[in-house]
Structure formats: structure tokens, C-alpha cells
Amino acid sequence: MAETDNRAATPLLAESLDAAGVLRLTMNRPKAFNALSEGLLDALAAAFSRIAADPAVRVVVLAGAGRAFCAGHDLREMRASPSHAYYRGLFDRCTRMMMAIHKMPQPVIARVQGIATAAGCQLVAMCDLAVAADDARFAVSGVNLGLFCSTPGVALSRNVSRKQALEMLLTGDMIDAAQARERGLVNRVVPPAALDAEVARLAASICAKPAAAVAAGKGLFYRQLEMGIEAAYQLAGQTMACNMMDESALEGVQAFLDKRPPSWGGA
């Protein structure tokens, strides 16, 4: 009984690392639709920092307990501390957590069911990949409360087109999973019963590739997006040259020439 109570009080649950190197983090505030309380923000930031330094972790799956992925910030907690300094600190805190996903070498896959709204939709957009149940819904709905979703808009506008992002931000309207996929917010949409299997397939495909190439590729991908095209090509060329000197790339190319599967060991 005590163990159940402790788990219920823990805002973030981490499953044991599986044999392939996949670690699942589960936001554990189901009664609050996994709203991002200060405690959950801190737990996520600490987990991402710890995982980033752990070479045994190849892929992270971010999930939400209960009926929702994440409903955004905890509005009750926010309303209890109405000061500019508190709000600025809270949003800075959230940004640091979101950027930790961006900066860590391992890909992070959002496993989305139910709703992903406001900062919860931002969280989906900040994850490197996302798989959604076909009944999931998404919105940046702060404008409905008089609060424009400015920080979620940063992530959203880097996933979907300007006009689609701005329509979502200005109206606060929900979109369904199919629309989210069409707009580029999620990668795959499956029936709820197939959600875990589809996430596992995507994670397994990544884990089958060399960790060094995945980490270098993720880092390069985000850095070059913020550059002009010439600078992006320069950085990409430097990254590929370094990558090519890695043992896994040398083995992969030689295996291709030898017409045999590469021997990457633990990848």
C-alpha cells in the first residue's frame, strides 16, 4: 500500500532501461491531466540532465499517465502566485526544461494520448519525434483564457507552417491527430491499442543505428536550422567529416562495399 502511495505522489516515473537502451519517462499527475507543476518541471529537467550523460540510454519515450498526455501549465499553481517575478521565473524554468530535450544527444519520442494542450502541445513540438493515438487532440489554447501561448508558439512554429501555427495560436481551437500529422506536429498516428507497439517500432529502428551517428546528427540538425544556408552547409560538412572518421561509419561503409551487414556490436 505504501508503495502505491509513493508512486502516486511521484510526479515523474522512470521505467528500467530495456535491453535495447530505451527508457520511458511517464508524467504522473493523471488527475491533473499531467499539468506541468513546478515539481514536474523540476523532475523532468533533472531526468533529462541525468539521461543526457548516460551513454546506455539510446532513446527516451515521454508519456503521460491516465487519459491525457499533458494539459499544459498547472493553472491553479500559477494563480496562487500572481507576481511578474514568479511568472517570469516559471516560464524561464519551463524553457530550460524544454531546451534540455533539444540539447540532449538521445532522441526523445512523445507518446501522445488524450489531449496535449498549451505547454503540453509545446512539449510534443519540442520532442524530436511524436507518435499519437488517433483520438488524441492538440491545441495551444491559452488565448481562450486571455493568455496568448507565446512560449508554446516558439516550438509550434518550428514544426508547422506559419499560417497553420498562427491560426492555432489565435483561435485556440483543437486539431485532431490526423490534422496534427498533416501539419507536421506528429510523425505517426495509430489506434490507441497500437500506440505502444508503434512507439516501440520507431525506437527500435533508431536503436539499431550507431549512437555516435544519431547523437551527431541530432545536434547538427537543430543547429543548422537556425543558420543561413551557406553556414549550414559548412557546419554539415564538418560534422560529416568527423562522423566519417568514427569507427561505426568506417565499418558501415566497408560493410556496404563488402555486401554484408555491418558489425556495430552494441551500436
* Residue 263 falls inside a structural domain: no
Residues 150 and 236 in one domain: no
Residues 234 and 158 in one domain: no
Residues 25 and 136 in one domain: yes
CATH code of the domain covering residue 171: 3.90.226.10
Residue 226: domain span: 211-258
Alpha-carbon span 203 to 188, nearest angstrom: 13
Alpha-carbon span 122 to 94, nearest angstrom: 10
Q: How many domains does the chain have?
A: 2
Residues 149 and 175 in one domain: yes
- pTM of this structure: 0.92
Alpha-carbon span 194 to 202, nearest angstrom: 12
Digitized pLDDT (tens) for each residue of the chain, 267 residues in all: 233 345 667 999 999 899 999 999 999 999 999 999 999 999 999 999 999 999 999 999 999 999 999 999 999 998 898 899 999 999 999 999 999 999 999 999 999 999 999 999 999 999 999 999 999 999 999 999 999 999 999 999 999 999 999 999 999 999 999 999 999 999 999 999 999 999 999 999 999 999 999 999 999 999 999 988 898 888 788 887 888 777 887 787 788 888 888 887 655
